[in-house]
Amino acid sequence: MAEELKGMKVAFLATDMVEESELTGPWQALRDAGADVELVSVEPGEIQMARHHDKSGTVRVDRLVTGVSGADYDALVLPGGVANPDALRTSPDAVRFVRDFFDQGKPVGAICHAPWMLVEAGVVSGRTLTSWPSLATDLRNAGASRIDREVVVDDLLVTSRWPDDIPAFARQLIEVLSRWRRETLAGRPLPGRAHRGQGLPGQGLPGWRLVELDRLHDH
């Protein structure tokens, strides 16, 4: 598995009070699979992580969101925590960065409260995803369908609900990133649209409309 994502570059977008396990768990899993990972944030220096509502450790920021775009990375991961995405969604540069990945047809993972960023970026209409339960009304009002599953894949979007889902979330991210790269290298058509209704029907990868973790390997 160590070479599965070798050569791929993945951005993690986060700020203060990001849920520690939702940052470090997927981060380590993608690194173990060979990906290069970078922490992108809105301010330089370090960000404060949290364990639920309590401060934990800090982590160094690699790049500022004002100086990067989706073209710099192969994929994006959005960890949760309540305060983290709530702050990020007030940053036009952070919202633009998230939207870049949907415009360019690249994989995105979001866990817990992170789908708030997807709502702010205007990319959830017509999609099926999961999240922390309290986001259900926000997602519905934005045109999405929320289901209660540990991990949901809709095209290239991978979502999960909370820290207990991290192992499944990380495994699914690795599978989606690996498959996206294979399809890209094979020159097959990719979604490449920010919103449902844009582009031609069936532009997504075969079998990717809605795939649960336990069904993915059947395709």
- Point out the residues that are catalytic: 112
**Tens digit of each residue's pLDDT, the chain (219 residues):** 468 999 999 999 999 999 999 999 999 999 999 999 999 999 999 999 999 989 999 999 999 999 999 999 999 999 999 999 999 999 999 999 999 999 999 999 999 999 999 999 999 999 999 999 999 999 999 999 999 999 999 999 999 999 999 999 999 999 999 999 999 887 765 544 434 433 322 233 434 444 444 333 333
Q: In the block, which residue shows the tokens 């609900």?
A: 161
Evaluate whether 26 touches 158 at the Cβ level (below 8 Å). Answer: no
Question: In this structure, what is the dihedral angle of CA atoms 126, 130, 132, 135, given to the nearest 10 degrees?
Answer: 10
Domain ranges for the chain, please list them: 9-216
Q: How far apart are the C-alpha atoms of 176 and 139, rounded to whole Å?
A: 23
Name the CATH topology of 9-216: Rossmann fold (3.40.50)
Closest alpha carbon to 138 in 177, 202, 173, 89? 89
Alpha-carbon gap, residue 160 to 118, rounded angstroms: 13
Residues 98/131, Cβ–Cβ less than 8 Å: no
